Amino acid sequence: MKTAHLNTLKKLHILNDPIYGFITIPDTIVFKLVEDPFFQRLRRINQMGLSYLVYPGANHTRFHHALGCMFLMQKAVQVLRFKGVLISETEEEALYIAILLHDIGHGPFSHAMENSIVEGISHEEISLHFMELLNKKFNGRLTLAIQIFKGLHDKKFLCQLISGQLDMDRLDYLKRDSFYAGTPEGNINSERLITMLNVVDHELVVEEKGVYSIEKFIIARRFMYWQVYLHKTGIVAEQILVNILKRAKELIESGEELPATESLLYFLKNQIKNSDFDEKTLNLFSELDDYDIIASLKQWKNSKDFVLNNLSKRLLDRDLLKIKLKDKPFSKEFIEKKRNKLIKKYGLTSQEVKYFCFTGVITNLAYSDTKEKIKLLTQKGKIIDITDVSEQINSKALTKLVTKHYLCYPKSKD
Amino acid sequence: MKTAHLNTLKKLHILNDPIYGFITIPDTIVFKLVEDPFFQRLRRINQMGLSYLVYPGANHTRFHHALGCMFLMQKAVQVLRFKGVLISETEEEALYIAILLHDIGHGPFSHAMENSIVEGISHEEISLHFMELLNKKFNGRLTLAIQIFKGLHDKKFLCQLISGQLDMDRLDYLKRDSFYAGTPEGNINSERLITMLNVVDHELVVEEKGVYSIEKFIIARRFMYWQVYLHKTGIVAEQILVNILKRAKELIESGEELPATESLLYFLKNQIKNSDFDEKTLNLFSELDDYDIIASLKQWKNSKDFVLNNLSKRLLDRDLLKIKLKDKPFSKEFIEKKRNKLIKKYGLTSQEVKYFCFTGVITNLAYSDTKEKIKLLTQKGKIIDITDVSEQINSKALTKLVTKHYLCYPKSKD
Amino acid sequence: MKTAHLNTLKKLHILNDPIYGFITIPDTIVFKLVEDPFFQRLRRINQMGLSYLVYPGANHTRFHHALGCMFLMQKAVQVLRFKGVLISETEEEALYIAILLHDIGHGPFSHAMENSIVEGISHEEISLHFMELLNKKFNGRLTLAIQIFKGLHDKKFLCQLISGQLDMDRLDYLKRDSFYAGTPEGNINSERLITMLNVVDHELVVEEKGVYSIEKFIIARRFMYWQVYLHKTGIVAEQILVNILKRAKELIESGEELPATESLLYFLKNQIKNSDFDEKTLNLFSELDDYDIIASLKQWKNSKDFVLNNLSKRLLDRDLLKIKLKDKPFSKEFIEKKRNKLIKKYGLTSQEVKYFCFTGVITNLAYSDTKEKIKLLTQKGKIIDITDVSEQINSKALTKLVTKHYLCYPKSKD
Amino acid sequence: MKTAHLNTLKKLHILNDPIYGFITIPDTIVFKLVEDPFFQRLRRINQMGLSYLVYPGANHTRFHHALGCMFLMQKAVQVLRFKGVLISETEEEALYIAILLHDIGHGPFSHAMENSIVEGISHEEISLHFMELLNKKFNGRLTLAIQIFKGLHDKKFLCQLISGQLDMDRLDYLKRDSFYAGTPEGNINSERLITMLNVVDHELVVEEKGVYSIEKFIIARRFMYWQVYLHKTGIVAEQILVNILKRAKELIESGEELPATESLLYFLKNQIKNSDFDEKTLNLFSELDDYDIIASLKQWKNSKDFVLNNLSKRLLDRDLLKIKLKDKPFSKEFIEKKRNKLIKKYGLTSQEVKYFCFTGVITNLAYSDTKEKIKLLTQKGKIIDITDVSEQINSKALTKLVTKHYLCYPKSKD
């Protein structure tokens, strides 16, 4: 046994990942950000909200997704540099930080929450608040990352790698969500797509031969929206959660005492807007995660309030409402008839019945040709719009906004 | 457009599964059991406890595992019947029910809980209580399943498919846990192993040619124990949780008020033994899941008690204690020195310091040749012990109990 | 050690498959057909012709594909029976036989060969000749399978499972080819699609909720055509092979002696049409596989004939011609100019130059709405065309025949 | 449409790989070597010889394996540099070249051939001859690669990455072979193992925490040997091929004319030893691949010689001999009895009968502790032998040479 003359200057921090094999932490600042309680909190926020009620494998977290995005970003930097695109070490670090933190502002069951706990504020805005707070903590080291995250960097492609048609966020979440949901139809070849990226005039472009892979990417994304993210059972679960939180707010406003964690109570008692997000609010917000919500539901199912206890129990036991989908809105008469039946059956008020019988709208646009477009680089070095060569993407089926109307109500057996 | 003359007599209930593609619900009784709130509760119990703190992909639930076991059981029934083994339709149904419910008695973060919330009662015993309660609800339909689960059926192989060296539980959990943890080293070819099963004199045997696959299975299991289930970081996390729950009990006994859900408080306030498990206790137990624990920790991290708040915060922020492993016990002197340092540093009592600096033992036996052995069926129709032909399995490395001693304490920077 | 009372009546014949895990041979007749030299010959015919020159993983054989189809057919029978569709044991066996043998008539590098070695005869017709010969050998046991293969069975769905929009052939080859080529974009969820099949009025239908999976299937198929099967490098390789075989025929007709295996020489010397396919011809045909062709090329590369030796060497060393693709035909002038250059450079005749500089056309139609359509079964039990609900499939991009023109010629460095 | 200011300096050459996703060609010299006819020839040599007769998916080639090794080498260079190990760009290139060409000397159905077509010369020696020839062609650019390949470089770890206990060859072939064979039991986590490599005193070491992964690697390798590489059906197929080639040589020596390609005839007519390998011989050798052999068998099955035609037909139709395995040698009497029966049944000479009834020996050693050992780097920086900490690897089952005796003879039905 002898003591080694160690070559190791740096320790390789590695995280296992069922998708990419393993993810390497590129440097110290990233490692420290991963260890920060703000980031660790993402371990307690499900990446796909309540979709696990439809796809039992969908229990992966925003923590893992954020790391996956960073992994892909490392690949992208490697490919672009190989092709001669200049990316400084500072810019590289900023890209990793920005993508790592892009979702840090997500609250519990994100989309449900954006419409109930806070008001008129997106998770991107909250992410920015978090980044700025972390920037203080890390003495300005995040300034460039924030600039890129805000889309304000002159090298537009840096911003596009964070948020754009083919950003690392999308390339990871489609792959990861379809993997965990067990829907291989939504799987995309993220690493392959990255190899076909290039930069022209500071903008991200895709080599022309990648056109079929991009078509596949857009179709897969459309598939995931209709089959997974907007799955009708997922929709009804999410709306029940929104209604539970609305009812809780209503009851609290009317003076009732509801058991809940301190931070959840804060957001139920106050109407928090973007301008309210000072450091104190942010710290309270950072206390919130999926566990507060589900633990509260478990107590609320014993509430005296019929709306609150019934809906809470339904969500916990996955005994959901029925949902119908149509291309056109449901007629007022039809909805009224349904509601009147329920009012009689359960002795509800005309206000309360709306918690059990309600309508809504879901929409999806597979490819927007009005916003930023996907640009192709031809073999001759010209830049063209993808819709110039892909009839597929150019078709109405993909560029038209699809809208569906839904109606939810209790099953007749209930 | 015309109306169909439908052939469909039965609706095929299917659940997506990243591992097997999809899982089919074989019949109505199984479907109803899956829909039961007792079973739905398993959606809120992580299959691997706190291992997600080491392997961020390990967020799958006992709900999914139970369904996976049932999928494999369907394969096993198919293979055995093909080979001429008689399994009646009633026995088939009982096998599906027994394997579906085999883990229904698990509490939150199971193993941690077995040593703190309840006392001297295993999750198998609680599973049995649940099955008996469900048997009432389903008018005796589970009687045969319970007999098999208890290991009391004359056709021993029915019991062995539920609990034995090569039961469907192990065949699913090794595959599933290694898949989600992202440790392909632990992957096993479950469906292949099943094709090599047969029954002789009512006992489960494996065709001789399967010897390498079984060696691989036992090695993979050993790998998973040392690398994943007994990973030192996972051990320290689990012990911190056990200490948190012990401290909470201690504080409650001494008269302090701690915020917690009603059912968790019940188990913290009372010493529940197997004999206490009446219907009321069982119903309270069925209210408990991972969410109660984590939500409580989130409140306890603001407790005035230093032990409770410090340990809770550590677990939530994954700022764990240091852990050292050795083949021999740590010396009393060494431990005392560590503890005295901490007592001074934090002003702890000699009782409190044990929550931060403690020792323990982990053990694993890869293959027990004293209990039920794996039997091989040779091509000539003879039955032999696997250790007769596999030097690998017969080796000390696999048949000797391995014991490791650990010592945990705060990092010096803390 | 004791002798077992064996339950085993049947031995489970299993083949490992990287895609499905393993494939079980369902019964004795299928096992005997698999063992037949006619079927074993498929081990020596690459499933994707010369595509391995583009995708180095694409070395799988028609043997494996045929077994894969049979695996999926077993799943389909299981699902349909579960749903109450009556399939007798005789019909089941016939389905397995028909799908197992559906490709048995493929010659070496199939499509290349259909245009050079034989004339005006498809591999399906040759498959039928093989089946009829095997039917004699097996005393009429294949009669029902042949009827189904010919599309003549009253229960139309039996025929559709063999050849139709969603037949087991397509469901296996798309999955298998994309797997081995390493193009996950073409992967489809075959087993999932099968679970959504049903039968109405003797016709195969898909449950409505499967619409997104079918869209995905059609897009994946389109992807595989343009990106893999019709990959421009694959096209040029195949055309070089066609030209080599044409040249060999030409030389033989003009009296030259060429080294080749006896059976290959037979097909080079004679113009074999469908009506010539008697038992003797079929036996000679059954001697042909990829090895005859490649081994001949290896000898022909030393031929005195420049056309033959140059093209043979090019294919063996993967030193292919250049290929250009356009939406419109190349102008005669442009082609003539290219050819004249070559005539001068290499001293070719105006006949010979066409072997090095030639044009052609490739076409693909993603979804034909004029032939058999995919029918959906709505939840209310109505039958509708998929194009009634899927704008995606209805779009021009998928229902319009796409045609591309290509021009091949030597690289300027040559 | 505008013309781009292209950043692209280098074109990224990418090959799809079902295992790693895709493989990038790192630079121009490697690209040219891949394009060389010597290397392209590897497309026509199956990586696993005749194993596809047992595992129908095992049709991958040495071409693909060589590229896979190079992919892993890129990862290894990246990891070691990250850890501070100095590897110059010249050394990096040499590593890629050496690993790319390490198997270029393989002949058709390699191991069969080493014992029949050439004599007393290993494929490594032939690889070296090829490298030296290529070194001339590339003006000395391969000199460093050759030095490393020969194991003569001072930085021993460079040599160990090419050939050693954990070289890139093994890390790829175990993964690739188990993948294509469809035996996930042999799968290893190659990329993970690479992350745990380090260099101490110029020697390759593994970080201590990798001990379980290495155990897994050695067990997987053992599994692959017994279950796949030395599968009894594969053994008998290989021995039949050896016997066919021996018989062909014998017949040619006795003056018979056998149809075969020119280069195969050369090696059948002459006894080629290592010292005979001049440039001419090497060029003739480079003409040989699997296609020569199989195409010859297809002609030889019509030979007048019973031994040659019978064995050839057996191999082509996969109608193999029976094989029995035992721990001890078969008794002379037993063998003689078998042979005498055959002599009578088929009218064979006592010389000829040995082609149909023969014995042999297979051996495997899972881990050799006498040759180069696997060294671990402890957390404290000490270097220890893996057998010091792994009882598993230290066990007799792994360090003892296992020997099995086999006897082959025709099935009684034949």
CA distance A188 to chain C (A): 6
Task: Flag whether residue A110 sits within 8 Å of chain C, measured between CB atoms.
Answer: no
Per-residue confidence (pLDDT) for residue C25, from 0 to 100: 94
Q: How far C6 CA sits from the closest chain B CA (Å)?
A: 6
Judged by a CB distance cut-off of 8 A, whether residue B36 touches chain C is: no
DSSP state of C10: S
Chain A neighbors of D204, CB-CB under 8 A: none
Nearest to D187 by CA among B188, B17, C17: B188
Q: What is the pLDDT of residue B396?
A: 76
Q: Tell me the residue ranges of DSSP E strands in B131-263.
A: 197-200, 203-207
Give how far C385 is from chain B: nearest CA, Å. Answer: 9
**pTM score of the predicted model:** 0.90
The chain A residue lying nearest D11, using CA atoms, is A83
Locate the chain A residue with the closest alpha carbon to D191.
A21
- Distances from the Cα of C190 to the Cαs of B75, C186, C195, in angstroms? 19, 12, 9
DSSP character string of A16-71: EETTTEEEEE-SHHHHHHHHSHHHHGGGGSBTTTTGGGTSTT---BHHHHHHHHHH
> Which subunits have 3 or more CB–CB pairs within 8 Å of chain A?
B, C, D
Which contiguous run of DSSP H or E holds residue A95?
A: helix A89-101
Range with the largest mean pLDDT of B101-115, B386-400, D40-54: D40-54
**Assigned token pair, B185:** 């080293």
Query: What are the tens digits of pLDDT across the range A117-157?
Result: 888 888 899 999 999 999 999 999 999 999 999 999 999 99
Q: Is residue B22 within 8 angstroms of chain C, CB to CB?
A: yes
Nearest CA in chain A to C391: A397
Please tell me the number of Cα atoms within 13 Å of A146 on its side-chain side. 17
Greater pLDDT, A187 or A204 = A204
Q: CA D364 to CA D325: how far, in whole Å?
A: 14
Query: Phi first, then psi: what are they for C406, rounded to 5°?
Result: -130, 155
Size of interface B-D (CB pairs under 8 A): 66
B84 touches chain D (CB under 8 A): no
Counting every residue written for chain A, the total comes to 414
pLDDT higher than threshold 60 for residue A57: yes
What SS3 class is residue B71? helix
Does D189 lie at the interface with B, CB-CB under 8 angstroms?
Answer: yes
Q: β-pairing, D203-207 with A375-377?
A: unpaired
Chains near D with 3+ CB pairs less than 8 A apart are: A, B, C
CATH topology assigned to domain C13-231+374-399 = Hypothetical protein af1432 (1.10.3210)
Return d(Cα D411, Cα D322) in angstroms, integer.
6
Please provide the average confidence, as pLDDT, over all residues in chain D: 92
Q: Which residues of A touch B19 (CB under 8 A)?
A: 182
Q: What is the fold of D13-220?
A: Hypothetical protein af1432 (1.10.3210)
Query: B189 with D185: CB under 8 angstroms?
Result: yes
According to DSSP, the residues that pair with A205 across neighbouring strands are: A198
Is D219 part of the contact surface with chain B (CB cutoff 8 Å)? yes
CA dist., res. C414 & res. C206, Å (int): 53
Q: Which of C188, C193, C218 is nearest to C207 (CA)?
A: C193
Per-residue pLDDT band for D8 (boundaries 50, 70, 90) equals very low
Ramachandran region, residue D304 (left: φ > 0; alpha: ψ -120 to 50; beta: rest): alpha
Q: Mean pLDDT in chain A?
A: 92
Could you tell me if C17 lies within 8 Å of chain D, comparing CB atoms?
yes
- Between chains, do D298 and C316 touch, taking CB under 8 Å as contact? no
Domain A13-229+375-388 in CATH 1.10.3210.10? yes
List the single residue in B with minimal CA-CA distance to C11.
B83
B363 CA to centre of own chain? 16
pLDDT over threshold 60, residue D342: yes
CB–CB of C199 and B7 under 8 A? yes
B363-367, C90-94, C326-330, D302-306: range with lowest mean pLDDT: B363-367
Residue (of C396, C219, C410, C232) closest to C324 by Cα position: C232
Closest CA to B171 of B287, B259, B262, B68: B68
User: What is the longest distance spanned by two Cα atoms in chain C?
Assistant: 86
Say whether B292 and A299 touch across the interface (CB within 8 A): no
Task: Please report the beta strands in B4-119, taking only residues with DSSP state E, as ranges in sequence order.
Answer: 13-17, 21-25
Of the candidates C184, C227, C395, which has its C-beta nearest A397's C-beta?
Answer: C395
Spatial distance between the Cα atoms of C74 and D163, rounded to a whole number of angstroms: 46
Smallest CA–CA distance from A213 into chain C, residue: C185
D218 in contact with chain B, both atoms CB, cutoff 8 A: no
* Amino acid found at A175: K
D8 has a chain A CB within 8 A of its CB: yes
- The pLDDT score that the predictor gives to residue B330 is 97
Residue D378 sits at the chain B interface (C-beta within 8 Å): no
DSSP at B225: I
**3-state SS class at C142:** coil
Structure confidence at residue D398 as a pLDDT band (50, 70, 90): confident
Residue D388 burial (CB < 10 Å; 0-12/13-18/19+)? middle
DSSP class of D330? P
Asked if A3 has any chain D CB less than 8 Å from its own CB, the reply is yes
CB contact under 8 A, C392 and A397: yes
Which chains would you list as touching B if contact means 3+ CB atom pairs under 8 Å?
A: A, C, D
* Pairwise CA distance, residues B145 & B150, whole Å: 9
DSSP state of B60: -
Q: Residues of C with CB below 8 A from D287's CB?
A: 298
State how far residue A370 is from chain B, nearest Cα, in angstroms. 36
Chain D residue with CA closest to A17: the answer is D192
Yes or no, beta carbons of A396 and C391 under 8 Å apart: yes
Rounded to an integer, the average pLDDT of D158-177 is 97
User: In what helix (H) or strand (E) does residue D14 lie, and over which residues does it extend?
Assistant: strand D13-17
Q: Which residue has the higher pLDDT, D223 or A59?
A: A59
Determine, for residues C383 and B4 on separate chains, whether the beta-carbon distance falls below 8 Å. yes
Contacts of B259 (CB under 8 A, 6+ apart): B296, B299, B300
Q: How far apart are the first and last CA of chain D?
A: 73
Q: Which residue of B has its CA nearest to A55?
A: B16
Which chain A positions have a beta carbon within 8 Å of C394's beta carbon?
397
Please report the pLDDT score of residue C10 as a whole number: 61
Q: Which of C349, D234, C239, B182 is nearest to A68 (CA)?
A: B182
Give domain limits for chain C: 13-231+374-399
State whether C189 and A189 contact (CB < 8 Å): no
Whole-number Å distance between alpha carbons of A23 and D195: 11
Residue stretches of chain C with pLDDT short of 50: 1-9
- For residues D182, D188, D189, D191, the Cα torsion angle rounded to the nearest 10 degrees is -90
B213: helix, strand or coil: helix
B147 touches D at CB < 8 Å: no
pLDDT for position C372: 82
**What count of Cα atoms within 13 Å lies in the side-chain half-sphere of residue D144?**
14
CB atoms within 10 A of CB C134: 21
Give tens-digit pLDDT for B26-42.
989 999 999 999 999 99
The tens digit of pLDDT for each residue in C188-219 reads 889 989 999 999 999 999 999 888 889 889 98
Query: Around Cβ A365, how many Cβ atoms within 10 Å?
Result: 16
Q: Give every CB contact of residue D235 below 8 A, 6+ residues apart in sequence.
A: D323, D360, D362, D406
pLDDT of residue D274: 86
Distance from CA of A315 to the nearest CA of B (A): 10
Q: In chain C, which residue's Cα lies nearest the Cα of D314?
A: C37
Chain D residues within 8 A of A5 when measuring between CB atoms: 200-201
User: Distance from D389 to chain A by nearest Cα, in Å?
Assistant: 13
- Using an 8 Å CB-CB cutoff, list chain C residues near D182: 16-19, 21-22
Interface probe with D: pick from A6, A23, A31, A190, most Cβ of D within 10 Å = A6
How many CA atoms are closer than 13 Å to the CA of D13, on its beta-carbon side? Answer: 13
CA distances from B384 to B156, B198, B203, B378, C4 (A): 18, 14, 13, 7, 10
Q: Which residues does residue A3 pair with via DSSP β-bridges, in sequence order?
A: D382
- Mutate which: B13, B183, B297, B317, vs A, most A CBs within 10 A: B317
Instruction: Tell me which chain C residues have a C-beta less than 8 angstroms from the C-beta of A175.
Output: none
The amino acid at A281: T
What fold characterizes domain B9-316?
Hypothetical protein af1432 (1.10.3210)
ipTM for the assembly: 0.93
Read off the pLDDT band of A380 (50, 70, 90): confident
Chain D CB within 8 Å of residue C27 CB: no
Instruction: Give the rounded distance of the alpha carbon of C377 from its chain centre.
Output: 30
Q: What is the pLDDT of residues B282-302, one digit of tens each?
A: 999 999 999 999 999 999 999
DSSP conformation letters of A167-192 = -HHHHHHHHHHHHHHT-GGG---HHH
D185 in contact with B, Cβ within 8 Å: yes
Residue B397: pLDDT band with limits 50, 70, 90: confident
* Amino acid identity at B52: Y
Closest CA of chain C from A325, distance in Å: 12
Contact C296, C265 (CB under 8 A): no
- Written as six digits, the tokens of B309 are 């708040």
The answer to whether D257 contacts chain C (CB < 8 Å) is no
